[in-house]
């Protein structure tokens, strides 16, 4: 059980792999040196660098090693940057194309597909509107008909009455978002995305609902917005 998307999980596993490698090197080295090169009183290897008070000590360096651990981390971050690069195309929203094509004509469907990396591509997308306000969300389906998008409210045990956004699996939506007071951010937990909603400025967010999407998931506010910030919640229902 997790809120991870396949896209997130792929990146996460890769980063964890490199983290383990880097930690193994650093901590193995630390562990070895902190037991191997020790002494109780400093007598075992006395003062190899002839350290003396008031004298700047002899340089203890090795250009090759220092260059090595400048270059190697640099190569690693180039690789990690390259690895994180591909999903970026799926993150940015632009109205003129991209991985999700153009806005759907009436009656057209997105037919989105997820590749093995978890990146979703679609034929076209639908536009919905999300408005943030202290302290609730409102969803507007605009011109989309009920078979594509709907909104309702539901009473949840702890959050009280929350708005519910009904979307269809296999369809991709572009949320055009704005706030009418302060900054908020909807965190679509099972989509692994969030984006601030700002007053006086529109922001956009892809909501690609894949076939494997869980039916019910939470939308929490992730940008601190005042007193009832933590119960500013909504629900996303993905229908077949």
Partner 1 sequence: MVGKRSKGAIVALVVIAAMLALPSAQSFPTGISGVQQSGCNCHGAVPSDSVVASIDGLPESYNYSEAYELTISFQGGPSQEGNVNQGGFHLWASEGTLSVSDATAQLYNQNEAGHTGAGNDQLSWTVTWTAPATDKNVDFVLHVNSVNGNADGVGGGTSGDMWSKVAISVGGPVEVLEATDPFVVLGVLIIVSASLLAITLAYVFYRKDPDAFDWDNFAPWLAGWMTSTDHKKIGTLYFVAGLFFLGVGGIMAMIIRIQLSVPGNDFLTQEQYNQFFTLHGTTMIFLAAMPMINGFANWMVPLQLGAEDLALPRINAMSFWLQPFAALLIFTGIFSGHGADTGWTGYAPYVVSEGAHYGTTMWAAGQIMLVASSTLTGINFLTTMAVMRAPGMGWMQMPLFSWSILVANVMLFLSIPAFGVGLIQVYLDRVVGTAFYDIAAGGDPLLWSHLFWYFGHPEVYVVVVPSFGIISEVIATSSRRSIFGYRSMVYAMAGIGIVAFIVYGHHMFTSGMSPTLRFVTMLTTMLVAVPTGIKVFNWLMTMHGGSLVYRTHTLWALGFLVTFTLGGISGMFFPSIAMDTHLHESYFVVAHFHYVLVGGTVFGFFAGIYYWWPKATGKMLSEKLGVLHFLTAFVSYNALFWPMHRLGVWGMTRRHHTYFVTTEEALGSLPMEAAGWNMFITVSAFLFFFSNFILVFNIIVSSIRGEDAPDDPWGGWSFEWMTSSPPPAHTLYKLNDGSWGIPTLKDANEHIANEPGWLSSWFQRLLVTDEDTEEESH
State which residue, 168 or 233, has the beta carbon closest to partner 1.
Answer: 233
CA 116 – CA 198 distance, rounded (Å): 34
When asked if residue 130 is in the footprint of partner 1 (CB under 8 A), the reply is no
Restricting to residues 95-124, name those near partner 1 by CB under 8 A.
none
Choose, by CB under 8 A, the member of 131, 150, 182, 239 that binds partner 1.
182
Which residue has 């999300």 as its token pair? 130
- Exactly one of 131, 134, 138, 151 binds partner 1 (CB under 8 A); which one? 134
Can you tell me the distance from the alpha carbon of 84 to that of 117, in angstroms, rounded to the nearest whole number?
Answer: 11
- Using CB under 8 A, which of the segments 106-114, 125-133, 163-171, 211-219 binds partner 1? 211-219
Task: Give min distance, CB of 21 to partner 1, in A.
Answer: 10
Residues in 7-26 that interact with partner 1 by CB under 8 A: 7-8, 11-12, 15, 18-19, 22-23, 26
Q: How far is CA 131 from CA 33, 68, 128, in A?
A: 57, 52, 10
Return the closest-CA partner of residue 173 out of 149, 197, 199. 149
Residue 33 lies near partner 1 (rule: CB under 8 A): yes
User: Which of 103-111, 143-151, 164-172, 198-206 is the region at the interface with partner 1 (rule: CB under 8 A)?
Assistant: 198-206
Tell me: does residue 201 bind partner 1 (CB under 8 A). yes
Tokens of 148: 């594509």
DSSP 86-131: TTHHHH---SS-STT-EEPPTT-----EE-TTS-EE-SEEEEEEEE
Q: Give the residue, chosen from 107, 155, 158, 161, that forms a contact with partner 1 under the rule CB under 8 A.
A: 158
State how far the Cα of 7 lies from the Cα of 114, in Å rounded to an integer: 9
């Amino acid at each position: 059980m997790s809120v991870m998307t396949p896209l997130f999980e792929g990146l996460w596993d890769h980063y964890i792999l490199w983290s383990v490698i880097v930690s193994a090197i650093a901590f193995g080295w630390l562990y070895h040196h902190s037991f191997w090169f020790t002494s109780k009183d400093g007598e075992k290897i006395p003062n190899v660098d002839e350290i003396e008070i008031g004298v700047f000590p002899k340089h203890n360096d090795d250009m090759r090693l220092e260059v090595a651990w400048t270059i190697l981390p640099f190569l690693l971050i180039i690789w990690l940057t390259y690895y994180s690069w591909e999903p970026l195309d799926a993150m940015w929203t632009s109205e003129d194309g991209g991985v999700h094509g153009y806005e759907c004509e009436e009656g057209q469907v997105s037919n989105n597909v997820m590749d093995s990396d978890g990146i979703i591509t679609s034929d076209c997308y639908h536009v919905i509107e999300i408005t943030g306000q202290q302290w609730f969300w409102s969803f507007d389906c605009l011109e989309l008909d009920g078979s594509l998008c709907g909104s309702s409210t539901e009473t949840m045990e702890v959050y009280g009455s929350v708005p519910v956004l009904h979307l269809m699996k296999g369809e991709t939506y572009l949320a055009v978002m704005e706030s009418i007071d302060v900054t908020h951010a909807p965190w679509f937990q099972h989509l692994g995305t969030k984006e601030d909603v700002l007053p006086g400025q529109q922001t956009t967010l892809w909501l690609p609902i894949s076939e494997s999407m869980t039916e019910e998931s939470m939308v929490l506010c992730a940008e601190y917005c005042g007193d009832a910030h933590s119960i500013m919640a909504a629900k996303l229902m993905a229908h077949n």
